[in-house]
A and B are shown apart, each in its own frame.
Chain A
Amino acid sequence: MATTMTSPARSGAKTRRVTARAVEGQELALAGVLAVLWLVLSLVTDTFLTTSNLQNILFTVAPIALIGIGMTAVIVTAGIDVSVGSSLAVAAVIVAKLLRDAGVNAPTALLVAVGVGAVLGLINGVVVAYGRIHAIIVTFGTLNLFRFISLRIFDSQQVTGVPDTLEFLGGGAAGRTLGVPNAWWLVMAVGALVWLYMRYAPTGRHLYAIGGDATAARLAGVQVERRLVAVYTLTGVLVGLAACISIGGGGLVQQNIGTGLELQVIAAVVIGGTSIIGGRGTVLGTLLGALLVGTVTSAVTLLQWPSELTALFIGIFILIAVGVDLIRERRRRSR
């Protein structure tokens, strides 16, 4: 069959764009779903298409999207990081206490948050890469370990009276530029960088190779361990930034901060078309996936539906996304 299909008419005339992974079908489909949803919601409710509601969606979704950017890179390498919620708690409690008790300024707070996140991510990455233990086991362990550490630092008390040093990342008016939450600007800037990196940089391409077949990638000269350590550390850094967003305008930081966050992040990544078995996925898809999750949550509230419907809809979206992925994979294999 192969030899009959090689006419230049087929390979030449219909040359695909030279770059393989431009905007994928799943991203277009997601954008379409989002557009339809927004259109319907703005017709059905008079509260959806308001500045404050859109600002609210973007701000709420920002930490999920931000961590999702790193999680996309991790899942593309056929890994996963379920410890992000606990890492966020560690970073948040440390920063909150520093802000309140030591009165540190914003740059120091950001630096500490990023540093703490990076160290926690590095731990995950080193154990996954060099310990050759499956990522879900490693990060499930650190999920509990990091939660323990955060609770120790909380010392049985929520942190109250956190000053508004980080309000430029918060949900209030001080946290917006041109009407858009700064947290969301951050998401878009980081997202663009990582998206470009994964698409155009040789080492970004290697992430996909590792997710496809780590042994083959290693034999081809890909530095598998280094790449793995890098993606988990990146995720940790983004967790640190997300912790600053969740502290935002200050006030209260509770012990259960970040609980269940990992599932929201993974949901956004999977809905965004990243294959859970690795080797395929884009940051753009993840951002769209996060927006979809945010939109659905907001819609359920605005329509005054029972809030458990949010879980139902997100569950359905995940099943559709995974189903599409599986069908695609099987079709590819059977060819």
Chain B
Amino acid sequence: MTDTPILALSGISKRFGAVQALTDVSLEVYAGEVVALAGDNGAGKSTLIKVIAGVNPADEGEIRWEGRPVSINKPHDATALGIATVYQDLSLCDNLDVVANLFLGQELERLGVLDEIAMEQRASELLASLSVKIPNVRVPVASLSGGQRQSIAIARSLLGDPKVVMLDEPTAALGVAQTAQVLDLIERLRDRGLGVILISHNLADVRAVADRVVVLRLGRNAGSFRIDEATQEDIVAAITGASDNAVSRRRARTAGAAATTEADA
């Protein structure tokens, strides 16, 4: 990990009409690090992602890329810097095969004609380098499992050689085994030296792959934890905003009976 974060946001504020969606938020991502962005519904996670992706630019605040200040006003700005975003559920065309999906919108061509051979080779190489197992890159993605589809969506984001990848709920609709596939893939992104921003509701996933957790609550920073130093309770408390809340009361109620099972929760 270098001293300068690849991406550093500070004092980010965003307002939609009467709603103050983000207030003075900061976030740093280093190379080779998975940062989980946690928070309850409406905490501002998606808004922050959209600020970084250039979909909804920030009203105020500073964004630094590798130490120098930059402005991200449209999606192209983010892509040009090297920020890739994998949106939830919205990323693949079911009717196209794996190769066509990987290269959609950035097709390789020769003399204005699709270069299918080159695309297929690069697709196979890319998927192999990420250890993504696809039986045949020429099948429509509709016939693939949810985990494979998510893996393809993530692999596609890497074609532009980004330095930061943002994943929006990548495991939301997946079963246990498929979630494990995607978590493996996220670790491989980290091993490649990418900075990964992971939005997830699933604290188990977060604890499994993230190095740090940044918690947002009501549009403000509500805590930042190194994953190996924080307990589940710390994170939940930050997300809900207090130690006295429905989640911790319920825990306290059941703690007496199930004190031993608490440890692996």
Contact = CB atoms under 8 A, between A and B. Distances in A.
Interface residues of B, number: 36
A318 B11 CA distance: 61
A215 B107 CA distance: 18
Contact of B93 (A16, A213, A333): A213
Contact of B135 (A10, A20, A217, A332): A10
B17 interface: no
Contacts of A220: 91, 104-106, 156
Contact of B100 (A200, A209, A332): A209
Most buried by A among B105, B120, B140: B105
Interface in A37-52: none
A5 B135 contact: yes
A110 B110 CA distance: 34
A206 B144 CA distance: 21
B100 A222 contact: no
A2 B135 CA distance: 6
B259 interface: no
A205 B107 CA distance: 9
Interface string B138-149: 101011110110
Interface string B86-108: 01001111111101100011110
A279 B107 contact: no
Contacts of A212: 93-96
Interface in A87-105: none
Given A209-B100, A212-B94, A219-B90, A20 B143 contact: no
B100 A205 contact: yes
Contacts of A19: 116
11 contacts: A6-B134, A201-B112, A201-B113, A202-B109, A202-B114, A217-B93, A217-B104, A219-B87, A220-B156, A221-B104, A332-B142
Given A2-B147, A20-B138, A201-B112, 13 more contacts: A3-B133, A18-B120, A200-B113, A201-B114, A205-B114, A208-B96, A209-B104, A213-B94, A217-B104, A217-B105, A220-B105, A221-B106, A222-B104
